[in-house]
Amino acid sequence: MSPLLLPAPVSISSWYDTLMQLLTALLALLGLTAATPVPRQSGLLGVLDWALKKKLTFNGDGEFKVVSFSDMHFGERYGDGTWASWGPEQDTNTTIVHSIVLDQEQPDYVVFNGDLVTGENVFAFNATGYLDQMYGPTVQRGIPFSSTHGNHDNANNITHLEEIEYEVAHYGELSYTRADVGPRPYGCGNYWVPVFASEEDWAPAVVMWFFDSRAFTSGSGDGPGPVPDAANYYWIDEKTVPQYIEGQSALMKAIWGSLPPSLVFVHIPFEKSDDLWSLPTMGDHDDDPDPASQGFLNNTYTGLDVPSFQAILNLSDGKNKVLAVTSGHDHGDSWCARSFNSSGLALCFDGHSGYGGYVTPHSEVRNGRVFNLKLSDLTASDGPKVETWNSYENRTTNDYVVLGPDFMKEYL
């Protein structure tokens, strides 16, 4: 498509804000303003989006495969701000990794799980050009996708909101990314996406939740700059997101009768992952997540990631469980684990799919993490389960496990 034909960037929640303004004006007319503030989550958010987008459905074999890529780190250059050929070469390599994994796995959905760019290295005038490169292999194959955003996606010359608005404006046909709630511009990439068993279904078979763990990487290659106060938080916003999860899931229960099983994606891992790190699980264990995990401020654990963790635990409805919470951030981690320490919730890492960013001994061969959802597994009588494995640029797969009632049950 010619760039001239692309829609102009719009504020992605403008329709909602307009509706709320009208409602608020109406309430004001009735003299009800002070007594009845209109809650932002007064409907199932995103419903208008789905009316305009292709409904995501399982295929004829009852399968829906998701590949999660983290830590692409596009746009790197030298610390002194000068350019060299290795930055663009890394980026080309990353698109090759994605192409190989996508051809190997043929997924139905791609998640870009944060640190899409190395934001402290990019210029404001062309930062989003790296996103075009990053989405390239997925877009060329016509695969629907969405993104979470990482600490390196908030920097002096780029923010989460700017990346989201660019993605929605330019890739709106394939992108399911939204900004439902959360502080703008640094922490607003919180949303959910339903996947239905078939076109006719009213209630989804699975819901994917995406959260924004904020944080900010200062510096432009010319040395560190100040971190804006509003960005100096390294966890999902505890003031808006737990209420959002609670409100949206209450509506889901009311409308659909129960909460579907779910997958959760967030760039920075929850602090609880540190308690699981040393367990003997498959995948790379090169990075101890603590204190690079959520909830840390000035090297001190605040506990402020706990409200969102609790709200995610509440997404389990009877037998229907949260199948996994998947993070990137720690390039040298690509394991899944659970225990009593995580209240039985499976916490996964999806490794390192980019040639940008730091490399650990076991993460040199780049990978994405695959979730192979099957309707028969989701409706199993003992509770839902999902197969997952890592898929590598050297055209191999590894670390196959089934997340479900039997996964690591001896540790509960």
Ligand X SMILES: *[C@@H]1O[C@H](CO)[C@@H](O)[C@H](O)[C@H]1NC(C)=O
Contacts with ligand X, residue ranges (CB under 6 A): 83, 86, 89-90, 93, 123-126, 129-130, 156-157, 219-220, 225, 242, 246, 275-276, 278-279, 297-298, 307, 310-311, 314, 339, 341, 355, 365, 392, 394, 396, 398, 411
Q: Which residue has the tokens 């997340």?
A: 403
Of 106 and 278, CB closest to ligand X? 278
Sequence-distant (6+) residues with CB within 8 A of 355 are 73, 89, 90, 91, 93, 94, 97, 366
Nearer to ligand X by Cβ, of 58 and 270: the residue is 270
For ligand X, give the closer residue by CB, 57 or 128: 128
DSSP letter for each residue of 41-100 = TSS-TTHHHHHHSPPPB--TTSEEEEEEE----BS---TTS---THHHHHHHHHHHHHHH
Among positive and negative, which fits the CA dihedral 149, 151, 156, 157? negative
DSSP H helices in 74-195: 86-105, 129-140, 160-171
Q: Which is nearer to ligand X, 54 or 395 (CB)?
A: 395
Where on the phi/psi map is residue 410: left (φ > 0), alpha (ψ -120 to 50), or beta?
A: alpha
Q: Name the nearest CA neighbour of 327 among 93, 102, 111, 17.
A: 111
For ligand X, the closer of residues 201 and 246 by Cβ is 246
Q: How far is the CB of 387 from ligand X (least distance, A)?
A: 19
Which one, 125 or 202, has the nearer CB to ligand X?
125
Task: Give the nearest distance from C-beta 59 to ligand X in angstroms.
Answer: 28
Could you tell me the smallest distance in angstroms from the CB atom of residue 22 to ligand X? 30
When the beta carbons of 172 and 225 are compared against ligand X, the nearer one is: 225
* Pair of tokens at residue 302: 């605040």
Contact 88, 78 (CB under 8 A): no
Closest CA to 215 of 326, 148, 294, 278: 294
Q: Which is nearer to ligand X, 2 or 298 (CB)?
A: 298
Amino acid at 103: D
One-letter amino acid identity for 197? A
Q: How far is the CB of 353 from ligand X (least distance, A)?
A: 13
Structure tokens at 299: 């090297």
Q: Where are the alpha helices (DSSP H) in 306-363?
A: 306-313
Question: Min. distance of Cβ 87 from ligand X in angstroms?
Answer: 8
Q: Phi and psi for 39 in degrees, rounded to 5?
A: -65, 145
For residues 366 and 101, what is the distance between their CA atoms, to the nearest angstrom? 10
Least distance CB 379 / ligand X (angstroms): 24
Q: How far is the CB of 64 from ligand X (least distance, A)?
A: 26
Phi and psi at 111, nearest 5°, equal: -110, 125
- Beta carbon nearer to ligand X, 121 or 175: 121
> What whole-number distance in Å separates Cα of residue 113 and Cα of residue 212?
10
Q: How far is the CB of 200 from ligand X (least distance, A)?
A: 32
Residue type, 363: S
Q: How far is the CB of 363 from ligand X (least distance, A)?
A: 8
CB 132 within 8 A of CB 112: no
Nearer to ligand X by C-beta: 100 or 206? 100
Residue 198 CB, shortest distance to ligand X, in Å, is 31
